[in-house]
Chain A
Amino acid sequence: MIMDLKQLRSRRSGTFWGGILPYLGYVLQSGVAFLFLFCLIAFAAWYTAFIRHLPEGLPIRWISLALLAPFAAAGGFRTYLQPPDTVFLLPQEARMRQYFAPAWRGAIIRKYMIQAIILLTLWPLYMAAEQSPKPLGLTALLLAALSLLLSWGSWRELTLVSRRSAYGCLLLRWAISFLAVAAWLWHPSGRALLFIAVLAAAYAAALRFPPRYAVPWEVLISAEKAQAARVMMVLGWFVEVPGRAQRVHTRRWLARAGERIPWEPQQAYRYLLTKSYVRSDMFMIILRAGVVGALLAWLSGGNMLGSAVYLFFVFVIGVQLSELRRVHSESFWLNVYPLPQGSRRRSAVRLVFRIQLWAAALMSLAFIPSLLDGRIAETALTLAGGLAVTALQRVYAGRKGKDEEDEDEE
């Protein structure tokens, strides 16, 4: 009997999302639907006002490049592969194309949907700010073709034998995406298309040479683990979900983080959490949220909208950081090591507070132009608001942690 690989993949996908489904009710109950709607309305109001009163010399081509190129370059395949597959599916290696086909399709469809949303949202701003705009249809077609090529490239990277080559190809993929979109935005259509075609051909040719695995089992299993962890992480913002595997980044430049933490059992958990944080996905997410928040606040010109954007991002960063409280919730060693009672909760709350405070302080740099314009009172009020949001989230986290601790003791 031949194993139905397509059905196996579909069953696994069903099991994964079936496991997520029960949590969605809780997500809605947590007020996320309301918050999402509120954010959407607030964004729509801000965006409409922003388009009506466009600032002079808005770098629209750079903004378009920053919004369109990353989504064309991004990869991300859900294979639902599991470690035992290296034993049980290995004999099916020659037929694995059947198994992976839905993963490729799914990745492309997801990418197209996200791109459509980004493009349609961006377009009114682009048309208002660009003096010689490109046609929407042709831009969409170009992005679709580019996304297809780069998705193929992203899959190809996963199959490369040398991880160093794969890393090189990843950089190449992002460079191609930015170059192609930039060529389209800055140059006349004909010349840009010719350049993009040559670039695409060179990229496709370059990816043919490095040696590849037929199926890169270990890479795919690790990538799948990371993808699943990401879904669970997003879910974890709203509801308690069981322990999730985190992707680990070496980040040698942060190797010394946590070394100055006082050497005492009370602070041992803070040491562990700091190490976990600086090597997690969350670190980059917070960094990105901080940069985007500061950028949007700065683009808003430091007015009321800018303040709202700033406060919103301080809040979102706090919500994201609250995930840190759950990072080691099921750690074996924390039940065995003699950590002082309550030190886990206290360490987590303090660490989250410090990081959020740093993020709020760094994002406040966006208000330097407002200060220079003499709007000292408004700016001080905004920054005080950021501090208040951070403090309130700390109080909430402290209370919640205490309640959970009391429940555990009962």
Chain B
Amino acid sequence: MTPMPVLEIEDLSGGYNLNRPVLHDIGLKVMPGEMVGLIGLNGAGKSTTMKHILGLMNPQKGEIRVDGTTRSQNLEQYQGALAFVPESPLLYEEMTVREHLEFTARAYGVERNRYEERSAELSRMFRMEDKMDSLSIHLSKGMKQKVMIMCAFVARPKLYIIDEPFLGLDPLGIRSLLDFLMKLRSEGASILLSSHILSTIENYCDRFVVLHRGRIIKQGTLDEIAAAAGMPGQPLEQIFYSLVQDGE
């Protein structure tokens, strides 16, 4: 039996203005245990796609299912099945790192002992142990980004939506993040990740979705995209460059 996709977007069109949609007929799936790279130039529609998945924007057309349900069918199940890491850290200034993790765990219904274990593991992995009781306003940008990532990971949902996670992270932080993503993937979690650092994600993602001017111009494994672009064996960066040049 084919497993059900954790994220399924069908025929999605949407944007800020009804007359000028940013996204056109987007269709993609993320299967359990799969990591998909969403790539595109600035303004291609990556963040807008993510906002639609999160429910911050309503589709003008099409449907989005997370864990087999739409937002209107079962909001709590939909939201409980996904965690988001934004491009810029969005933290409550009045809360410490520990309190952010605790609030997230409470909201996602993570058991207390599980939370304690995960929190200890994440703080060790991201080298934040001595910052756990610091207010978020006293953290550097990179540390704030780590808190965002830790919050998503403490929840352990089925799907992770991750927007430009490497911005502001130090090399050790990037390594920790990628290692942890691999671990989650091997445990069956699904990840939709957008990044401009193609050389890094090339080695980690199972498939790629290339967005250009609000449309998917190619999607598939690296080999499939390379073949479709007529550039077999080439690195992702070269293929992407060629695809968006052709799309101009």
Chain A residues in contact with chain B, CB under 8 A?
A: 246, 248, 250, 255, 263-265, 267-269, 271-272, 275-276, 279-280, 331-333, 335-341
B76 touches A272 (CB 8 A): no
A263 touches B94 (CB 8 A): no
B90-119 Cβ-contact flags toward A at 8 Å (1 or 0): 101111100100111011110110000000
> Given B77, B86, B93, B107, which contacts A337 in the complex, CB threshold below 8 Å?
B107
A272 touches B90 (CB 8 A): no
> Given B77, B95, B112, which contacts A275 in the complex, CB threshold below 8 Å?
B95
CB neighbours of A276 from chain B (8 A): 92, 94-95
A248 touches B109 (CB 8 A): no
CB neighbours of B107 from chain A (8 A): 265, 268-269, 337-339
* Residue with the greatest number of chain A CB neighbours at <10 A, chosen from B92, B96, B104, B109: B92
11 contacts between A and B (CB under 8 A): A248-B93, A248-B137, A255-B133, A271-B102, A271-B106, A276-B95, A279-B135, A331-B92, A332-B86, A335-B54, A338-B78
Give B33 Cβ to nearest chain A Cβ, in Å: 22
| Count: A-B pairs, CB below 8 Å | 70
Give A259 Cβ to nearest chain B Cβ, in Å: 8
Give A333 Cβ to nearest chain B Cβ, in Å: 7
Chain B minimum-CB-distance residue to A337:
B107
CB neighbours of B76 from chain A (8 A): 338, 340-341
* Residue with the greatest number of chain A CB neighbours at <10 A, chosen from B77, B79, B107: B107
B108 touches A336 (CB 8 A): no
B133 touches A333 (CB 8 A): no
**Known contacts A248-B94, A248-B137, A338-B79; A264 and B106 CB within 8 A of each other:** yes
* B208 adjacent to chain A (CB < 8 Å): no
CB neighbours of B75 from chain A (8 A): 338, 341
B135 touches A250 (CB 8 A): yes
CA distance A341 to B76 in the complex (A): 8
Give A347 Cβ to nearest chain B Cβ, in Å: 11
Known: A335-B55, A338-B108. 16 other contacts (CB 8 A): A246-B93, A248-B93, A248-B135, A263-B111, A265-B107, A269-B107, A275-B103, A276-B94, A276-B95, A279-B135, A332-B86, A336-B55, A337-B79, A337-B104, A337-B107, A339-B107
